[in-house]
């Protein structure tokens, strides 16, 4: 019945700080449209950002900055991702470590965004 994820929502303290981080660190593209949530686009998905206290309806029951924990998939070698994160001044919290994703084994690194959301970037192992 479900084919994939179109978008998800993160509640953030500051739209500007969050957008700048994801644009600089992960190369996301900011989308701003009147009357719509600010979004960060990547691949064929996006993350909608709701600034704390200025959410769009409907919304989660208890939207809270820093409550997110999600995994993004890369086609780049994890060593390249690690080097890029370090060059951006982003502390790697864990990794590289082996994990099991939706499609099988992968190698992951974990770090936090400015709100404390846990971001996992993973690459599937070659078969």
Sequence-separated (6 or more) residues with CB below 8 Å from residue 119: 70, 72, 110, 111, 112, 113
Note whether residue 29 is domain-resident: yes
Task: List, for residues 26-43, the tens digit of each pLDDT value.
Answer: 999 999 999 899 999 999
| Residue 64: domain span | 7-124
Number of structural domains, the chain? 1
The whole-number pLDDT of residue 69 equals 96
| Predicted TM-score of the model (pTM) | 0.93
| Catalytic residue list | 120
Helix, strand, coil % in the chain, rounded to nearest 5: 15, 40, 40
Task: List, for residues 88-121, the tens digit of each pLDDT value.
Answer: 999 999 999 999 999 999 999 999 999 999 999 9
Note whether residue 105 is domain-resident: yes
The whole-number pLDDT of residue 24 equals 97
């Amino acid at each position: 019945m479900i084919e994939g994820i179109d978008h998800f929502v993160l509640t953030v303290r500051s739209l500007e700080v969050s957008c700048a981080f994801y644009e600089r660190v992960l190369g996301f593209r900011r989308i701003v449209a009147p009357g719509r949530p600010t979004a960060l686009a990547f691949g064929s998905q996006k993350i909608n950002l709701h600034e704390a206290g200025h959410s769009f309806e409907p919304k989660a029951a208890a939207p809270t900055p820093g409550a997110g924990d999600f995994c993004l998939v890369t086609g780049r070698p994890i060593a390249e991702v690690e080097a890029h994160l370090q060059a951006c001044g982003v502390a790697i919290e864990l990794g590289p470590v082996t994990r099991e994703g939706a499609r099988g084994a992968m190698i992951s690194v974990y770090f936090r965004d400015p709100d404390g959301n846990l971001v996992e970037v993973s690459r599937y192992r070659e078969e």
